[in-house]
Amino acid sequence: MIDIKTNGQKEESKNWILPGITLSQDEFSEGILKAENGHFYTIQESMEHFEQWMKSRDKK
């Protein structure tokens, strides 16, 4: 489980990628709907973020 602090509050969420973690169908559906409401990048925005990441790696 991951603790996420937001404005002094703790929110617990399951880490779906860990082995042995089980989700109910409702939890899975709720997570998918929450992700779909998130921000999606255009191809151009994704390429710009990738280029920025590559430049930041070169500086190290």
Q: Say if residue 8's pLDDT is above 80.
A: no
Distances 27 to 20, 30, 31, 33 between C-alpha atoms, Å: 15, 5, 6, 10
Q: What is the mean pLDDT of residues 4-9?
A: 56
Under the banding of pLDDT at 50, 70 and 90, the label for residue 1 is very low
Q: What are phi and psi of 13, to 5 degrees?
A: -135, 155
Q: What is the predicted pLDDT for the residue at 9?
A: 55
Under a CB-based contact definition with an 8 Å cutoff, are residues 14 and 30 in contact? no
d(CA 16, CA 3) in angstroms, rounded, equals: 14
d(CA 47, CA 30) in angstroms, rounded, equals: 29
Looking at the DSSP bridge assignments, the partners of residue 59 are none
Q: What is the predicted pLDDT for the residue at 16?
A: 77
Q: Give per-residue pLDDT as tens, 10-41.
A: 556 667 778 888 888 998 898 888 888 877 88
